[in-house]
Structure 1
Amino acid sequence: MAGSRCSIMAFLALFFTLFSAGSSVAQVPLLMWSSDGLPPLASPAAGHITSKDQLTAYLTSAFGSGPHTVLLFLQDKLSKDDFTVFGGVFGNKQDSAFQNLEAALQSSSSSVTFPALEWSDSSAILSLLQEKLGASPLLVDADTLSHLSINTSASNLLLINLPYCTDLDKSCKEVLHDNDEIIGNVLSIMKDKNILYTAIYTGLKPSRVISETSMSNQPAGRSLLQAVVFDVKPPIMFNVSGNPCIMLWAQNLNISLSGAWIDLAAETPSMTGSLCNGSNSLLVLSYASGYTLSFAMSQRFYPVSARNWFTLDSVQLQANGLTASFIGRRNIYAPAEYSFHCQSVTSFRDILLVPNNTNQNTSLWRLNFVDFQIQGFGLANGTDFSYASDCAGFFTPGIWMGLVTGLLLLLIFVYGLHMIMQLHTMDRFDDPKGPSISVPQSE
């Protein structure tokens, strides 16, 4: 039974993944199953988004004649990612948040799935069902449903509202698991009442709205891989005779004078004045706004490690006729064939760039480089950095506190054990029944 449930959830996850091709249209999934039977649904093409008209046509064929009892499980938010993330497909089956839903899909006489249903407004699905059934929705819960008398000679639309992850005290998986328990309880009540029903599980709106690349302008046909272009700026690269020599990338190159921050990473610099050779590299970035950043690096052989290491010796900033200089002091280093990476390189907090006090203008400037990576030697090609040596230390403050506390407790334990081992018993005792011990005294 558990294997069948897992295979159903794996099928749903694979189904949703295959039909999650790029689109900028907001979508919600819709699961539909019945204890009475549903008309067959042809499998849509990959990337197909079911429109409202297509759903209307299917519901017309499903509810075209005779009375029907419909259970609408309407969740505040729902997306296909909820099934792949919280469905327990890749782990233990007990980790799934949709166990009752999986069991219902397996035990139903028929079921259909709309992995990508075009979403326009929150009341669309409810209005559509109300129109097709000719019945007003009745808001119920498990307790109300157990005492409700259902007239099966007329169509019924029973609405069960389900929350999403808005409660800060519960995770999304816990909320979805609670919703799944509600679904299981409602279906059990319908089974006890021996009432044929059609159940629908969908959302008022998508839980994740992700802007994806539209396929409308892509050529039709079969392809194994689709190239997705991300808006990531390329690294700054200085070439010598067509060969890459220096590479630098940063999310932000923030500089500040008297509190006003400027991000130079948004501008395209000129690298006039840059140079590199076997032992020294200088990257000069001149911006149209009048700022110039210079990164001076050097490498040397260290006999202790038997390898070459490079260091960022200094960073120099020139603007408005002023020059500020910051020294790396070997805080920024890596093996010569590696690149150096650090999430934050600043001159004022967790300092890696120390202001050069010999320059009076330096104290007026602040530097803050975010997601900073640089390599001045050993570049193999012009597209990628080499393996990065990160500035994050192995021992964090929390680890040091734990080690010091553990060492202190160990010393106390060893001292106490040593004191206990030094205790000795008397070799002679005074016997009250025998003669007392006398110690002769000499005069």
Structure 2
Amino acid sequence: MAESRSSSGRRLMAFIAFLFAFFATGSSTAQVPVILWSSDGLPALAPPAAGHIVSTDQLTAYLTSAFGSGPRTVLLFLQDKLSKDDFTVFGGVFGNKQDSAFQNLEAALQSSSSSVTLPAFEWSGISAIPALLQEELGVSPLLVDADTLPHLSINSSANNLLLFNLPYCTSTHKSCKEVLHDNDEIMGNVLTIMKAKKVPYTAIYTGSQPSRVISETSMSQQPVGRSLLQAVVPDVKPPIMFNGTGGPCIMLWAQNLSISLSATGAWIDLGAQSPTFAGSMCNDTSSLLVLNYASGYILSFSMSQRFYPVSARNWFTLDSVQLQSNGATASFSGRRGIYAPAEYSFHCQSVTSFGDALLVQNSSSGNASEWRLNFVDFQIQGFSLANGTNFSYASDCAGFFTAGIWMGLLTGLLMLLIFVYGLHMIMQLNTMDRFNDPKGPSISVPQTE
């Protein structure tokens, strides 16, 4: 019996790896695999066509049908990086189960009542899975690990979203296969604990970003003949959006949201991570955007709007930016020029807390006095969103009369004054009243003794 289950498990894992390798052909879009299985059951999903990439809307529709029957406890195993090739290379696809790095995953898929495999889910710069699950379940993810899970009380009558962060080849002392094997052991321990607690669950295994992105251009897409100066349009990551009770109310976008915990320390780009919005709120007079990152950082943007009689319109200001990490907090004031009309968004190419700073640190706790912020190509809007997808007209931080414009105006004015003075001197020239005629008789002056 054991040999039969082992053989069945090897065939299942080999089929998954073959399916991943089959769907990997003919696509150059960045993508991550998504594997779902449940102890209760999942609705059936027709296998996608060859080369098809599952979109966010398609996955959202499936999750709505899967989670609409009642309370769910979802276990999200979110690995830093994951691609289809990881199953092909480290999955033991040639029947050698001992050589597989996914033995517990194989056993879980074999023993579950139903499972769904999506070889290619679209990836556009950030992982959309945590946000989709949070929206579908209506709860924020709870970051836990296998050591704290036995002591965690789980209410099976309500929705729960448990997040397990898994590394990927970050240590120089371990190979990728060893790291994946350790992650598989963590998943096995978590599933064992859930079975011991007798809590029904739905598990999802995916990656925050692809571990391998291989661009393969189809021959049918190649232009025929000569082509000149073909432009490549880069992928632009979507803005961070918080939905209030009435729909989208806060939007933020930045090329980099970099922080440094010391004056000479390395910069950490939080924009490459996917945050949650626990603690965020918005109304007609104030907005608070709280970005909770799985790495332990919390970045908050506090905004308010009020009516100014002088300009006869409402203006919004970014009052403060707060950074929290390991119990320490640093608060930065944004009143030195971060403002815009309430129906506009605010944009600035560089928003920093050092140098020509728009953010000024006004309080800190712990060792946060040397923390620094650096936001590149920063844009934010907390009120009067025109629609749910685009920013309103941007009020830029760069003033009209810059230093270069002032220098040009002053130089032009000085040259104009010199020209006017020269013209005035020319206009004041007068002709002589009397001229000496060389052809006429000369003037003789008699001499007297």
Q: TM-score, normalised by structure 2?
A: 0.48
Higher-Rg member (1/2):
1
Q: TM-score, normalised by structure 1?
A: 0.48
